[in-house]
Amino acid sequence: MLVGKQQSIRYYAKSWLPARTIVAESIASRKEGDETGDIMVLKQFCPWKQHLAELEEEMKLEPMIEYVLYEDDRSTQWRVQAVAIAPGRFESRLPLPVAWRGLRDEELSKEASIEGCVFVHMSGFIGGNKSFNGALTMAKKALRIQPQLI
């Protein structure tokens, strides 16, 4: 039993708590990637969802962040993830466009007019691109699409 508690303490000390700093720094620099402030780029992947929700509330952040970009730690691909309406909820504030959902690779790249697309989940909560610039372009383009069409 002690081993489980030690693992939990180690996780919070080495991952969870440092993640808050990473998310706070990413919020502070969010306008570097996109002047609207609607897109946040994580400098390194970390558990971000709860921290983002708490920091947005504490900072009374306006506008709220719609998309988070991060490099997939299992590949060299980039992800664009729509922020959930609340931690633990699956519904996104602004899901990726309906026309992109369920598409992959060349079919998605053609539909979105963005090179290097990998996928967009059927629900629109996450998508991927082979490059950072491609993922950023996906997020920016998704922001420009009328919300009622998403």
Total-model pTM: 0.89
pLDDT tens digit string along 59-100?
A: 999 889 999 999 998 888 999 999 999 988 989 999 999 999
Quote the tokens at residue 136.
């950023």
Which neighbouring-strand residues pair with 69?
A: 41, 80
Instruction: Report percent pLDDT > 90 for the chain.
Output: 73
* Orientation of helix 17-28 relative to helix 49-59, angle to 10°: 50
Per-residue pLDDT at 12: 62
Quote the tokens at residue 71.
């490099």
Cα 97 to Cα 60: distance, rounded to the nearest angstrom: 27
Per-residue pLDDT of the chain (150 residues; tens, 9 = 90+): 556 777 777 766 667 778 999 999 999 999 998 899 999 999 888 999 999 999 999 999 988 999 999 999 888 899 999 999 998 898 999 999 999 999 999 999 999 999 999 999 999 999 999 999 999 999 999 999 855 444
3-state secondary structure of 126: strand
Strands 78-82 and 117-120: unpaired
Q: Where are the domains of the chain?
A: 2-149
**Helix-strand-coil split of the chain, %, nearest 5:** 45, 15, 40
Contact between 84 and 90 under an 8 Å Cβ cutoff? The reply is yes
Per-residue pLDDT at 148: 44
